Each structure stands twice: as structure tokens, then as C-alpha cells.
Amino acid sequence: MPHLKVKPFDTSILDKEREKSSLVTFRATALNSIDEVWGVELGGEEFLLQYKPESKGAALLKYDKVTRPLKVNLLKEALGKVAAALDMEIVSSNIAMSATKPALSSEYFKKIEDFENIAYPKEKIAVEVGFGSGRHLLHQAKKNPDTLYIGLEIHTPSAQQVLKQIELQGLDNIWVVNYDARLFLEMLPSNSCEQIFVHFPVPWDKKPHRRVISPSFLEESMRVLCKEGRLELRTDSDNYFWYALETFFGESVPKTHVEVRKNEALEVTSKYEARWLRQEKDIYDVYVKCLTHSDPRALEIDFNFYGVKYSEGIEEKLSKEAMVFDGFFVHFERLFKIGDEQLLIKCAFGSFDRPEHKYILMGREGCRYFASVPVKTTVNYQAHQKMKTIFLEGDLSV
Ligand SMILES: C[S@@+](CC[C@H](N)C(=O)[O-])C[C@H]1O[C@@H](n2cnc3c(N)ncnc32)[C@H](O)[C@@H]1O
């Protein structure tokens, strides 16, 4: 990742001579450390650069992971321009512009945020959770060109491989999302899907809380499936099979019809399946048919911090420990001051499995996320409301 090694210098010139580098919008200094982050505006994007003095007379100027723009060349341009404007003495650099495409650049790659307002190009939708090598996903998409297949995979190299295959095979009906399926389903409209495939999920025998199938996943699946739509689990694990059945027949499950099959041959065999077949393992299919029409998802999410303003000493009152609440957490990880009247808070919050990482910029005039708001999920919203209450009332009740 791009960075510069520079001779350390008096960074307070950034405050005094802001016009020297008009693209730096603020300088924030860490409480209890000499690190700094600088707000930058370039190419229509806002992000942070980190300035870290190191030993041996050098300082590192580099990108910030949380606010990093997708285009690496924009980052390199910002580093180069800031260094030039402030006459920094460069010791070493790796910011030469390159023509390489970002790792996940493809029109078929979608970010979870994209789903907040997206047009679906096909009438029918199906979802595959944890597609791995993608054999089943690609096969289904080829066979059913009138259906959009949304493939969810947390393993980035697998997502990249399948994106390559989509281009090579000339398919136009697959979207790849590199995100946790347990949180993603929330983004889909009610009654929108015909099928949800969960083939050979990791059994997580020792950490069952990490399993994809759970009562809340089942509930969300039944909401997004249309009437007569099916959730299809395929597994080689006896444990997982029985666990899933228990979940599917659990209390307060929406109206469904459950069907079980054993050692059914499918048209396409995944890499995992081929291995289990060689070992002559039993393979179970559990089909859960949705029998009801669901109400639209009615969650109004607003990530504003109405009424929150910086007041002197608030930084002393914020807990530095992670705070765990019912189903979510909030952690104010690092605090930075911008002059005497603004606070920049680096925080993690939301789901334990897929936490959101953001900065919050709080001043005398108001408070906002820097630079983009969180993904619109229920847990993120719960965490947001908790943070707002903490800022307004100092309410730390857990
Ligand atoms: C055992 S592999 C099976 C892959 C493929 N379905 C097959 O049949 O060959 C499980 C896959 O699920 C992915 N995975 C695990 N948890 C996930 C989650 N919460 N959301 C999305 N993908 C997940 C893993 O990265 C892995 O690629």
C-alpha cells in the first residue's frame, strides 16, 4: 500500500499555513500519543492520511485503513500533493502511479452499501451463500439466464476467482458480494427471492455461534423468499444436519414446509462434495419451503447525530473499553483532538461477527460520520442510537 517515509517536521505548520495545502482540511492529534491523522479532500472524496513519527529520524505518511478510497491512485496522488505542498523531505516512496485494476473491480462486484438503493436487472433472484469455487453458482447462472444470482462469499480470493470466471464465460446474471451472509440478507426486499442455496457450510462444531444457519438467518430467509420459494441446505455433516433440523422446527418459526433427502445427486458437483463422495460420506439435503407472503421491511434508518455537539472535556468521559449490549457492541478505540473545539473518534461497533469501523467528527456545530455513514443494518443502527445517547447524556448503562 502506498506510503512515504519523510524527515519529521513541525506539523503545526498545517494549522498555521493551511492554504499551503488546501487539500488538507484538518489535522487531528491523538490523545496519549504522537500519531496524527489529517483530513484530505481530493477527487470528490474525503479520507484520512496517517502521520506517524518513527525512530531514526523518519516519519511515515500513509493511508488510513478505515477511510481508504477504493482508487489506490487517488491515495498516491494525495500523498504526493500533500508532501509537495508542505515541502517535505522524502526519504523513500512507493507512490508511482500504476495501471493495475483494483482487486475487486468488475461491474459484477457489488458492495453491501450498493444494495441500499439498487435496481435489479432480472425479475427473478436467487442467492448462494458461501459459493467457494463457484461451480454451482456459475452452473445455475448459465442454466437460468433470466435469474439474477447473488453470490455471497467472505473469502476474498474465491470472490476474485469467480469474478474472473463471470467475465471469461460472458455471464451477465451474477453479482458477487464479499460480505457475511448472516448480515447481508437484511439488505434484500421481502418476497424477492426464489431460492437461497447454502451448500456445505462450515460446520463450526466448536464455535456454533459462527454457523450460517441460525434462527435469525431462517427468519430473514423466510422474509426475503417469495411464497413457495426455497432455502436449500446441503451438508455432509451429521451434526450440522441435526442442528439445522432443530432450527427449522424451532419455536416461532414462520410457516414452512421442510423436506429431507439423502444422497441425492445434483447436476453439478462442488469441490467439497467430490471429496466427500470419494470418502463415501452421506450427504443430506434439507429444503425449507416458504409458505407465507411477508410484509415489506419497515426499518427507518437515519444515521444523523441530531443535537450532538462537542463540549469541553467530553473526551475524558468516553469509555475506552469495549461496551457490550444486547446483540451489539460499541468501542471508542482512539480519540484525536482537532484544535480545542473538535474531537475525532475512531470507533468499532455493531455486529460481533462483522463490526463496522468508522470515524466520528464532533465539533461545536454538530457531529457526523467521517467520511461515510455505516451500512444500513439493524445492528449498526442500534449501535448508532446507543452512541448518540452516550454523547448526549453520558449514558453508559450496559
Ligand atoms: C466448506 S466451503 C463450501 C463452498 C461451496 N459452497 C462448495 O460447496 O464447494 C464454505 C464456504 O463458505 C464461506 N463462508 C463461511 N461463512 C460465511 C458467511 N458467513 N458468509 C458468506 N460466506 C461464508 C467460506 O469462505 C467457504 O468458501
Distance CA 99, CA 96 (A): 10
Question: How big is the chain by its Cα radius of gyration, in Å?
Answer: 25
* 98 — pLDDT class (breaks 50, 70, 90): low
Please say whether the beta carbons of 187 and 223 come within 8 A. Answer: no
**HEC letters along 56-67:** CCCEEEEECCCC
Question: Ligand 1, atom 10: nearest CA belongs to which residue?
Answer: 201
Atom nearest to 152 CA in ligand 1: 21
Alpha helices in 18-170 (DSSP H): 72-85, 135-143, 156-168
How many whole angstroms from 155 Cα to the centroid of ligand 1? Answer: 8
- Reading the block at residue 8, the C-alpha cell is 519529521
Q: How far is CA 378 from CA 98, 184, 381, 385, in A?
A: 39, 11, 5, 11
Task: Provide the whole-model pTM.
Answer: 0.80
Atom nearest to 201 CA in ligand 1: 10
Q: How far is CA 51 from CA 7, 35, 40, in A?
A: 11, 6, 13
Q: How far is CA 27 from the centre of its chain?
A: 27
How many whole angstroms from 66 Cα to the centroid of ligand 1? Answer: 25
Query: Angle at the Cα of 121 (from 118 to 122), degrees rounded to 5?
Result: 125
- Beta-strand pair 193-199/225-235: parallel
Distance CA 174, CA 116 (A): 18
How many whole angstroms from 298 Cα to the centroid of ligand 1? Answer: 30
Please say whether the beta carbons of 91 and 5 come within 8 A. Answer: yes
Distance CA 368, CA 208 (A): 37
How many whole angstroms from 201 Cα to the centroid of ligand 1? Answer: 5
Distance CA 22, CA 354 (A): 36
How many whole angstroms from 152 Cα to the centroid of ligand 1? Answer: 8
How many whole angstroms from 2 Cα to the centroid of ligand 1? Answer: 32
Select the more confidently predicted residue: 116 or 120.
120
Please say whether the beta carbons of 374 and 303 come within 8 A. Answer: yes
Q: Note the pLDDT tens digit of each residue in 29-73.
A: 999 888 999 999 998 899 999 999 887 788 999 999 999 887 888
Atom nearest to 270 CA in ligand 1: 9
Helix (H, G, I), strand (E, B) or coil at 366: coil
Among candidate residues 56, 73, 61, the one with its CA nearest the CA of residue 36: 61
Distance CA 49, CA 377 (A): 28
Can you give the pLDDT at residue 2? 82
Q: Is 154 in the pocket of ligand 1 (CB under 6 A)?
A: yes
* 395 — pLDDT class (breaks 50, 70, 90): low
Q: Is 369 in the pocket of ligand 1 (CB under 6 A)?
A: no
* 369 — pLDDT class (breaks 50, 70, 90): very high
Neighbours of 289 (CB within 10 A): 17
- Reading the block at residue 346, the C-alpha cell is 475512531
Q: Is 212 in the pocket of ligand 1 (CB under 6 A)?
A: yes
Q: Note the pLDDT tens digit of each residue in 266-322.
A: 888 887 788 888 888 899 999 999 999 999 987 789 999 999 999 998 999 899 899
Q: Is 355 in the pocket of ligand 1 (CB under 6 A)?
A: no
* 379 — pLDDT class (breaks 50, 70, 90): very high
Atom nearest to 128 CA in ligand 1: 6
Q: Is 131 in the pocket of ligand 1 (CB under 6 A)?
A: yes
Distance CA 180, CA 183 (A): 6
Distance CA 189, CA 206 (A): 33
Strands (E) across the chain are located at 3-6, 24-30, 36-42, 45-53, 59-63, 90-93, 124-129, 147-152, 174-177, 193-199, 225-235, 256-262, 284-290, 323-324, 329-338, 342-350, 355-362, 367-370
Helix (H, G, I), strand (E, B) or coil at 289: strand
Atom nearest to 197 CA in ligand 1: 6
Q: Note the pLDDT tens digit of each residue in 192-232.
A: 999 999 999 999 999 988 899 999 899 999 999 999 999 99
Distance CA 224, CA 135 (A): 24
Helix H or strand E segment including 291: none
CATH number of 112-290: 3.40.50.150
